[in-house]
A and B are shown apart, each in its own frame.
Chain A
Amino acid sequence: MEKSIETIWKEGFLKNDALIAPKLNNLYNQKSIDIVDKFKRMYKINRIAIIAFAFIILPLSFLVKIPYMGIGMFFIFSLITFIANKFSEKLYKLDKTESSYQYLISFDNWVKEMAATNTKLSRFLYPYVFIVMVSGFWFGSIGGDIPGNKLVNFILLKFPNTYLILGFPLILIIIALIIMSLLAYFGGHIGKWDLNLGYGRIIKRLKVLLADMDELRN
């Protein structure tokens, strides 16, 4: 070796081509594609998990003799998967050939639409899940007996003046209605919390990225 490394370094970088800074164009291209692709993967896993759960709970509910719960759950989880699949189709239609800013704006709009639908659905979902679970256990079977009838008999024995509507104690109907109302009222919040739990980090990254890009454009 004739030259020292110090000399090679100094002389080498004196040549014109050595230190040409790349242009800061398409700065967010890869980032935009990465963030959406990651979301797509997570969303797909989520959908598979929901439908798998629906198919597991259905036979299981028959096995443990609470079929109403299984059927109700299967129905609602299938419906959720159906809606999610519809959203997924829209997600896959987002145009990657648009500018990264436009691509992210489209994705952000999609997220907002999906979150709004999720919030609306949650207002019905949680009360529905509650009533399905209660019905499942109420009309189920424990050792050949129907737990709901046993409970009504027990209440009537203890409180003979209990008022019944269609064979259900009024007090239980009121309690169930209060719980369902609370679940309907807070369902939207629970839905948002649930969404944040799964996708919060990626949505936060999306917001930061969009804020950066907005600043870059102005």
Chain B
Amino acid sequence: MSNDFYTSSILPYSGIIIKICRAYTDTQEDFEDYYQEVCLQIWRSHSNFKEQSKWSTWVYRISLNVCLTLLKKKRNKENHFALDSLPDEAIEDSRSFVDESLNQLYQAIKQLSEIDRAVIMLYLEEKSYQEIAEIIGTNPNNIGVRIKRIKERLKKLLDGKVN
């Protein structure tokens, strides 16, 4: 991957890649691995980009696919090896943002299902329902209802933490 490609085609979208990778990882090490894998996959598949959608949509889609695949692989690996080697409680996210509200929002988002995480992040990134549906590969008619439900869940989770 050339520096030019990284600087011109990935770096301007690194924000969303970071946001997505953060939502699917618990440690800085995993986050960096996921981020690098996403960059690699974008680079590897950029020749397949047919300009039928925006480049940013392509980046979102690859980021989500890579994160979901890596997450699945990680879970399979954990299940494959001895279960008793896993910690008893869920792994706490060792990282934090300066903004405490954002930390709480991320913790709440991470309690959602994998697909709901993707939907709400795309919504928060102000993607249209049509674009969200295109990226997720679902019907745009259901997106609005789904977002409403996710927001209610998030509100409950955040209220539980804040209050």
Contact = CB atoms under 8 A, between A and B. Distances in A.
A19 B18 contact: yes
B98 A21 contact: no
Given A5-B124, A5-B151, A216-B1, A22 B35 contact: yes
A13 B162 contact: no
Interface in B91-113: 97-99, 101-102, 104-105
Interface string A1-17: 11101101101110111
Nearest to B150: A5
Contact of A6 (B40, B97, B124, B159): B124
A212 interface: yes
Main secondary structure of the interface of A (DSSP, over half): helix
* Range class of the B interface residue count: 20 to 34
Interface string B19-33: 100000000000111
Main secondary structure of the interface of B (DSSP, over half): helix
Given A12-B105, A13-B102, A22-B31, 9 more contacts: A2-B162, A3-B101, A5-B120, A5-B155, A8-B99, A8-B102, A21-B17, A21-B35, A24-B39
Interface of A: 1-3, 5-6, 8-9, 11-13, 15-22, 24, 27, 30, 212, 215-216
Rank and list the top 3 A-B pairs by shortest CB-CB distance, nearest first: A12-B102, A12-B99, A21-B14
17 contacts: A1-B159, A2-B162, A5-B105, A5-B151, A12-B97, A12-B102, A15-B97, A15-B99, A18-B97, A18-B102, A21-B11, A21-B14, A22-B31, A22-B35, A27-B40, A212-B1, A212-B40
